[in-house]
Amino acid sequence: MKLSIKQKIQQLDIALRESKFEEVELLSKDILKNQPTHPGVTHTLAIAQQKMGKLNEAETSYKKAIDLKPDYADAHYNLGFLLRVINKLDEAEERFKKAIEIKPDLVQAYNALGGVQQKLGKLNESEISYKKAIELKPDYADAYMNLGITLYKNYKFNEAEASYKKAIELKPDYAEAYINLGINHHKLRKFHEAEISYKKAIELKPDYADA
């Protein structure tokens, strides 16, 4: 029995949830033969291609999804994430900003935007982006950790210490935050505290090469 488009999309959603990305790619392409202007399926195809390491194809598919639906916040966000991976940082920044413009409560976009701005050396802007992510999600441990890195890079060592400690408070097994806290303690010449932080990181993650 021939499946309807609705049934095929249901199959597609199941395959995506189960991380069967080759199947997702095949199903998406099959659906798009008959529904070439379906932005959701095009976006799903892009996700599968990205997961499979087909980054150029994924970039093309994300852009096609956005052409079909310019206000597709998730597509802008995911394209931004891909562009960050391939080091197109200026383009990634613009995509994250567009996602936020469309969907102002997309908290992960603020965190991702902060990361790109940090890499671009836009530290004050990065700080603002991370703080907005935290404002939207006060228990966002990763945003506190990332904010700490930006503050550290901007020579705000006392503020960075507070941010790392908040990340650890929210996520007590956060080995990376302990490492960064230890490095920050060194900058503040708190050598005993640094030693404690490094030891805690190793306790949590014995193979931590940086510790």
29-73 confidence digits (pLDDT tens)? 999 999 999 999 999 999 999 999 999 999 999 999 999 999 999
> Distance (Å, rounded) from C-alpha 106 to C-alpha 110?
7
Q: Residue range 95-114: average pLDDT?
A: 98
Contact (Cβ atoms closer than 8 angstroms) between residue 145 and residue 152: no
How many CA atoms lie within 13 Å of 69's alpha carbon, on the beta-carbon side? 19
Residue 158: what pLDDT? Answer: 98
Q: What percent of the chain has pLDDT over 70?
A: 98
Q: pTM to 2 decimals?
A: 0.91
Q: DSSP code of 27?
A: H
